[in-house]
Amino acid sequence: MRGIITISLLAGLSLSACNQSETPKLPTAAQVEPTLKSHINRTLRNAFATDVRVTDPGGRDIPCGNSSAKRTYAVKAKAGIGSGNPEMVVLALISGLHQVAKYQLPSYAVSLTEQAAVSAQYRTRLVLSSPKKGEMVVRGETECLPLK
């Protein structure tokens, strides 16, 4: 009897180990796109942006090869508070993003007026910038993800 119980337990453990070793299915770019848009829109709201205009509405797959694609989304706005100093605007955008979701900032900034932010969890990459006084620009894209 003890041998039967041991074999049953080992068989059950083997089956559960097989299920755990399966790699999780990646989401599609279309499934990640609403999160990308939400993070960008909420970041701007948290940074007190005004006159927000969508410059890239996304909504289409951009092929990456190997049956994968990415999606993009971008907005432009005016800084709603402060002097409009581009460096301060980027800091406001970074602060606004940190209120939305956990993104990693590379250890380097592209420049003092442009900062990349990536999220492995959400499979997204953003670029926060202020190309001129009082202007906010946020561009984002998903990772290259399966089409289906």
Mean pLDDT by 10 residues, the chain (148 residues): 45 46 82 98 97 97 94 97 94 97 82 93 97 97 94
DSSP assignment string, 17-86: HHHHHSPPPPPPHHHHHHHHHHHHHHHHHHTTEEEEEEEE---S-EEEETTEEE-EEEEEEEE-SS---H
Q: Which pLDDT score, from 0 to 100, does residue 110 have?
A: 63
Distance (Å, rounded) from C-alpha 3 to C-alpha 90? 66
Among the listed residues 56, 49, 60, 39, the one whose alpha carbon sits nearest the alpha carbon of residue 119 = 39
Q: Which pLDDT score, from 0 to 100, does residue 148 have?
A: 85
The CATH class of 26-146 is alpha beta
